[in-house]
Amino acid sequence: MTAYELLVSGLKQFIPEVSPQAVDKLLRFSDLLLEKNKVMNLTAVTEPCEVVTRHFLDCASLAPYIKEGQTVLDVGTGAGFPGLPLAILCPGAQFTLLDAQRKRIDFLREVADALELLNVTPVHARAEEFALLHRASFDLAVSRAVAELRVLCELALPMVKVGGAFYAMKAADCKDEVEAASHAFALLGAPAAEVLRYTVPYDGVERVLVRLQKVAQTPDKYPRRFKKIQSSPL
């Protein structure tokens, strides 16, 4: 199957109708990613079909949880995952793509300009510093492959509004990691973690979304400085 066929067929598992424009933009993003990857380290993936399965179809698992008009923060977006494919698939939501590495954010600005993505704001900042000015500001936060949950939830949850949610994309065997973070979830205002399982189409890999509904304000003392978050996770 071609990358186009994999994409169109695989997306149907998560989204009933995908516009031809969205498919075209995803494939152009794949081209820009693989081209830039020759000169900077953005992804281990080198083939268009792998970009579709390992990145786009994995990230598309979040699309059903994003509603029109919502604001979404991607914490540690790297080369734009999961936030950039989601911005293409959910044009009615606004995405802030946050990363500590300037070169990655510069690349995402180029992509957003080239694809005319008006709902994407790439931001170069550390999450724990950005959080000081953006407390309880986003309907949703999302994140993939950034840190263990005890650390990650202290970076992300302070920026989520009460009534919103944080979705962490994790490997299927994250049970111990979720249990170890239960104290942190409660302290930060999202005491009940839900584990939503899915299989990445064509890749066959089982993955989970850990959903944390924010039901109370995060105390002002979080997030702490990164050294502290890492050395004594909640």
Residue nearest to ligand SAM (CB): 78
Find out whether 104 and 79 touch, Cβ atoms under 8 Å: yes
Q: How far is the CB of 55 from ligand SAM (least distance, A)?
A: 7
**Applying CB under 6 A, which part among 65-73, 107-115, 120-128, 170-178 lies near ligand SAM?**
120-128
Residue 156: which H helix or E strand, with range? helix 149-156
Cβ distance to ligand SAM smaller for residue 2 or 156: 156
Rule CB under 6 A: which of 34-93 touch ligand SAM?
76-79, 81
Cβ distance to ligand SAM smaller for residue 72 or 146: 146
Half-sphere exposure of 162 (CA within 13 A, CB side): 7
Q: Does 144 bind ligand SAM (CB under 6 A)?
A: yes
Q: Does 128 bind ligand SAM (CB under 6 A)?
A: yes
Handedness of CA 78, 45, 165, 227 (dihedral sign): negative
For residues 138-158, b (16+ Cβ closer than 10 Å) or e, as one string?
bbbbbbbebbebbbbbbbbbb
Find out whether 127 and 152 touch, Cβ atoms under 8 Å: no
Q: Residue numbers of the site for ligand SAM (CB under 6 A)?
A: 76-79, 81, 98-101, 104, 126-128, 144-146, 155, 226
